[in-house]
Amino acid sequence: MKPITTRNTLKMENKKEMRQWLDDFGLNHPLVIGGPCSAETEEQVLKIAHELKDTDVTVYRAGIWKPRTRPGMFEGVGAIGLGWLKKVKEETGLLTATEVANKDHVKLALENDIDILWIGARSTVSPFIMQEIADALEGTDKIVLVKNPVNPDLALWLGGVERLYSSNIKKLGLIHRGFSTYEKTKYRNIPEWQIAIEVKNRFPDLPMICDPSHISGRRDLIFDVSQAALDLNFDGLMIESHWDPDNAWSDAAQQVTPTRLVEIMKDLKVRKETTNEENYQNELNNLRAQIDVMDQTLLDTLGKRMQVSGQIGKLKKENNVAVLQNKRWNEILGRMILEGQERKLSEEFILRVFKAIHQESINQQEKILNS
């Protein structure tokens, strides 16, 4: 392994070459990567692939080595499945993609001419593994996609891409598959769209693909998550598809049949990035002006609220009372959730906003108490 300490953080801005591979596909719609979570049998792999050829699917995915959270679950068929993917390419013309998680996987995938290799969320999280994979891939002209790490850590995600970039791999992209949380939400992995948006803003040339299957964890959410991604101008989607989803050997709840995948692709709306149409521009400017005023008001109100918090902090200090008053805080939260509902604001949103406000309030009071 190369000594990481001697590397400089890369400047990847304006690296149009990173997305050249996607432009070269010449698609008039977002890229779609479809296929089963896991390759199970040769028959299963080929059957699904044949159902997905001649659709908007360009790339066929199938996990050969499966990173399982708990031992004893299906860990993938291993190298034998690479031959099945080769057959997929020969018989259907689809490009092929699989996950690699160490240097042996990389060697085998390259030997078997897999077109796209992706790094899974449990690998991106480990700089050691990422470096091992980057070293094994050095100079490859294959396309390499990096899934976000399981935890919402932007630096770790970009660090993965930087390691690949400095291993002279120039056909790169990101896959947004959501982030794991301890809290139970309707998602298997919460999207935290703002993180993906931040990456897109910083590296507009790095293709960003959404994986609605692993964000959702259940098939009935896949359409909405896919549409949300397209509304945010994502470059593509990776959707798990199995001919018999309920009996899939992994991720059964989130897979859709090829028929359903085709339906999803047909119903998704691809938005124009923008338009110069005059009415649209006028209306948009008008609405944006309103938003700007409201954001200003929000900021002013927050500022004033924190000043009052500060006064409370002073009062608590004079009376030697603890900063955190749990009972009062729970009352506020309960009330805000109810009032939020009346304004069509989700509980999840209210919790996030008020937890953040409360935290800032505590920080400000702590400062006063300890000054």
With CB cut-offs between 5 and 8 Å by kind, which of ligand PEP, Mn ion, none does residue 171 bind?
none
Q: Using the rule CB under 6 A, which residue among 30, 76, 120, 207 binds ligand PEP? A: 120
Instruction: Pick out residues in 145-204 that bind ligand PEP (CB under 6 A).
Output: 147, 177
Q: Which listed option, Mn ion, ligand PEP, none, makes contact with residue 177 (CB within 5 to 8 Å by class)?
A: ligand PEP
Burial class (CB in 10 A: 0-12, 13-18, 19+), 287: exposed
Q: Let me know: does 146 contact 175? Beta carbons within 8 Å.
A: yes
> Residues 64, 121, 143, 256: which binds ligand PEP (CB under 6 A)?
121
Please give the backbone phi and psi of residue 315, each rounded to the nearest 5 degrees, phi first: -60, -45
Considering only CA atoms, which of 211, 140, 222 is closest in space to residue 174?
Answer: 211
Q: How far is residue 175's CA from residue 265's CA, in Å, rounded to a whole number?
A: 18
Comparison of 97 and 134: residue with beta carbon closer to ligand PEP:
97
Residue 101 and residue 133 in contact, taking contact as beta carbons nearer than 8 Å? yes
Region 291-310 residues binding Mn ion, contact defined as CB under 5 A? none
Token pair, residue 79, equals 């190298």
The site map against ligand PEP for 51-70 (x = CB under 6 A) is ------------x---x---
How far is residue 163 CA from its own chain's centroid? 19
Find which of ligand PEP, Mn ion, none residue 147 binds, CB within 5 to 8 Å per kind.
Answer: ligand PEP
**CA angle (130, 131, 133) in 5-degree steps:** 65
Q: 186 vs 271, which CB is nearer to ligand PEP?
A: 186
Residue 176 contacts which entry, Mn ion, ligand PEP, none (Cβ below 5-8 A, type-dependent): none
Whose Cβ is closer to ligand PEP: residue 214's or residue 242's? Answer: 214
DSSP run (H or E) holding 127 = helix 127-137
Residue nearest to ligand PEP (CB): 120
Of these partners, Mn ion, ligand PEP, none, which one is at the site of residue 256 (CB under 5 to 8 Å by kind)?
none
Q: Which of residues 200-219 bind ligand PEP (CB under 6 A)?
A: 214
204: which 2 tokens?
A: 């507009």
Euclidean distance between CA atoms 166 and 157, whole angstroms: 15
| Residue 188, token pair as written in the block | 């298997």
- Residues in region 1-60 near Mn ion by CB under 5 A: 37
Q: How far is the CB of 360 from ligand PEP (least distance, A)?
A: 33
